[in-house]
């Protein structure tokens, strides 16, 4: 079985642009969580979606939004990019949303110039 997949692997954008990151969970998993990891720091929780509804949101500005599709894949959108948005964006999937059973994807490395 395929694990969690994310696309693209790497991405370079300029300030002010918009970006969309994609995540496909493990087959059968209904929950997707998004994390931002700035270099040298631990991941920061952004969102969790379960059964296409937002279950939780971290302390991120409204420029960050996400959604989950009927097939449980998810998109993370970031508008008006800032230099500080440069980070590794991690997606994790689980069957029920509980963190003790989540699996991480390889991440998308976003660089904002």
Partner 1 sequence: GQNIDQPTEMTATEGAIVQINCTYQTSGFNGLFWYQQHAGEAPTFLSYNVLDGLEEKGRFSSFLSRSKGYSYLLLKELQMKDSASYLCAVSLDSNYQLIWGAGTKLIIKP
With tokens 């952004």, the residue in question is 46
Residue 106 within binding range of partner 1, rule CB under 8 A? yes
Beta-carbon contacts of residue 103 (< 8 Å; ≥ 6 apart): 3, 4, 26, 29, 92, 93, 94
Choosing from 13, 30, 58, 60, the residue that interacts with partner 1 (CB under 8 A) is: 58
Task: Give residues 63-92 in contact with partner 1 (rule: CB under 8 A).
Answer: 88, 90
Choosing from 12, 80, 98, 113, the residue that interacts with partner 1 (CB under 8 A) is: 98
Choosing from 8, 20, 27, 56, the residue that interacts with partner 1 (CB under 8 A) is: 56
Residue 104 within binding range of partner 1, rule CB under 8 A? yes
Choosing from 11, 13, 30, 45, the residue that interacts with partner 1 (CB under 8 A) is: 45
- The CA distance from 44 to 58, in Å, is 8
Round the CA-based radius of gyration of the chain to a whole number and report it: 13
């Amino acid at each position: 079985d395929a694990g969690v997949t994310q696309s693209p692997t790497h991405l370079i954008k300029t300030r002010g642009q918009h970006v969309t990151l994609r995540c496909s969970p493990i087959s059968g998993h209904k929950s997707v969580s998004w994390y931002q990891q700035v270099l040298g720091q631990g991941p920061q929780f952004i969102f969790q979606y379960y059964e296409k509804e937002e279950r939780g949101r971290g302390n991120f500005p409204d420029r960050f939004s996400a959604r989950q599709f009927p097939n449980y894949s998810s998109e993370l959108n970031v508008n008006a990019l800032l230099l500080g948005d440069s980070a590794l964006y991690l997606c994790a999937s689980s069957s029920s949303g509980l963190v003790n059973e989540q699996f991480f994807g390889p991440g998308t490395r976003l660089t904002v110039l």
